[in-house]
Amino acid sequence: MPLSLTKYGAIFECLFLPTLSDFWRRLFMVYLNYENKNRIY
């Protein structure tokens, strides 16, 4: 899972770096945390 997470993070960062990279990174991490919680419970 960490491998795919870093891969998707890198893709996401490459796509959204020209705009608000910090905002998008936080949004993406929140989304990943939400998805992980849904899988666990």
Tell me the pLDDT tens digit for each residue of 1-41.
Answer: 455 566 777 777 666 665 666 777 788 888 888 877 876 65
Is the model's pTM score more than 0.85?
no
Query: Contact at 8 Å (CB) between 28 and 10?
Result: no
pLDDT at position 10 is 76
Q: Which residues contact 12 (CB under 8 A, 6 or more apart)?
A: 24, 25, 28
